[in-house]
Structure 1
């Protein structure tokens, strides 16, 4: 009987300590919620870049990250994010972990200020305009301006009647360095769920050696998602200004989405055709074909089938 009582008492003490420990651990989790997120996107593709075709398995900006917020005094919120690109298709000893957006910032009624490594305002101004983002036909294939800059301060304004402003300031980082600025004015919802139109205009001043300006507009019409954009870019070191334009269309059919995109820069152009098939809420199977004419006048062609899962 004594042994049973002692065992029961010992069990009660252990359970009490465990509950106290779990209660202590739960407090910071409630006060500082942390989200783990990411996606894995891999394609099996045939690539021909002007010197003959070859097959390859390719990761398309697969990533994982941590983000969260923390309530502060004065109705302020601390925000942070740490994100890395990973390459599950590469060899284990390769440098297949790369830093993406990583910042800490303050959010309030005035908007959000972030310090760290950030996508520029001009890059963010595209919203979801690029239907082949992160693939071979990403708009950065022909256009400058898709920059993620270190040593940068970013400001995102609240929305005023659908309008918002984003500003990026990139610091010199050295005595011989040169600072740069990126500014964007946007209207509407880039997912076209809360507004019928998404539109933006943006400019870079000396970002990655270029002055760049661009404008986008996207809308829905009779079930089609239609988009168009223009860009002008000029190297700071001297040289001619280059102009280009882009047009695309997407059309959902039950679990499918069919899409096409055409892009130019002066005499160079590229087009892409693709289809996505939704396997689940966060998973899709897809295929696409892209063809580009680059500076060397050689065509580059890609045919791919892939799988993406977001978590």
Structure 2
């Protein structure tokens, strides 16, 4: 079987590099931590692969005159830590879509992050780690059976919309929409801001507002969110604030997030602090501590060191 896989892989790479496709990029990220985890039943040491991934993305120009392009992305998540003979799935699908891009904007069909998830930009300082905002807030969804539309940018503004097809006779379509302003990398604008909403997406309705900018060299971010189940239960609202400050090759980070329920249900709180050390443009070492308060008697604590490499 191994002798068959190698030629297949080489054939796939050869096909992707064919002249018919004008732009092909193979990319990925390896992110691994060694951490001490305490999830209420005692602490233990583990090695975690934090959404490590690889993918292929690119485009082909269909018309030079109109600028119309076919765009595509095929991305998979890879588990780099568990044993090869474990029962866990070591390869999981992430964003995978095909679409058209032109003067009208961009239309993508397939599996994709919802408009609400995309609206946060790069605000989350602990993305893919234990302090990821998805561990407290609903709405960080990647949905199959979806159609995503992005308008061109007008004076810094952009509108994003997602339709998630019901995919069953007894289900309802889901909708996600966002309006964003500025550059999420904060390179072309002084700040980035967005408002977004989900309607009947993974059983929840969500409204979210986010803003991020720099003040005296400190990157500051804030988010406010309301959420409830589509049946009107488990209504809650919460907020997030964070900061990051760069000193030479070091970046110091802190993030605080809370979600308060209207009904008799325990609030959720997450507090994270960390430091990144930049080795070069694509590689960094980092360390973090995250405490999650799940209820009055249970706290989850994580202390980790790790490395990330992007290619």
Return the TM-score normalized by structure 1.
Answer: 0.90
Identify the residue that residue 79 of structure 1 maps to in structure 2: 71
Give deviations 1:77-119, integer Å, cap 9, x for gaps: 0000000000111121331100000000000100000000000
Query: Separation in 1 of the partners of 2:305 and 2:292?
Result: 18
Report SS of the residue matched to 2:279.
strand
Give deviations 1:63-88, integer Å, cap 9, x for gaps: 00000100113431000000000011
Q: Superposition RMSD on alpha carbons, in Å?
A: 1.6
How far has the Cα of 1:30 moved from its partner?
Answer: 6.8
Superposed counterparts of 1:1-311, under 5 Å: 28-29=18-19, 31-73=21-63, 74-93=66-85, 94-266=88-260, 267-295=267-295, 297-311=297-311
Paired residues, number? 288
How far has the Cα of 1:157 moved from its partner?
Answer: 0.9
Report SS of the residue matched to 1:172.
coil
| Shift in CA distance, 27/131, structure 1 to aligned 2, threshold 3 Å | closer
How far has the Cα of 1:32 moved from its partner?
Answer: 2.4
Unaligned runs of 5+ in 1: 1-24
How far has the Cα of 1:176 moved from its partner?
Answer: 1.1
Give deviations 1:30-81, integer Å, cap 9, x for gaps: 7422110000000000000111100000000000000010011343100000
In terms of Rg, which structure is larger? Answer: 1
Higher helix share: 1
How far has the Cα of 1:26 moved from its partner?
Answer: 11
How far has the Cα of 1:238 moved from its partner?
Answer: 3.3
Give deviations 1:213-249, integer Å, cap 9, x for gaps: 1001111011100111100000013314100000000
Report SS of the residue matched to 2:168.
coil
* Further displaced range: 41-50 or 69-78: 69-78
| Shift in CA distance, 176/290, structure 1 to aligned 2, threshold 3 Å | same
Query: Separation in 2 of the partners of 1:26 and 1:79?
Result: 14
Query: Separation in 2 of the partners of 1:27 and 1:169?
Result: 32
Query: Separation in 2 of the partners of 1:26 and 1:213?
Result: 40
Unaligned runs of 5+ in 2: 1-14, 261-266
* Further displaced range: 124-133 or 88-97: 88-97
Query: Separation in 1 of the partners of 2:221 and 2:161?
Result: 24
How far has the Cα of 1:29 moved from its partner?
Answer: 3.1
| Shift in CA distance, 31/83, structure 1 to aligned 2, threshold 3 Å | closer
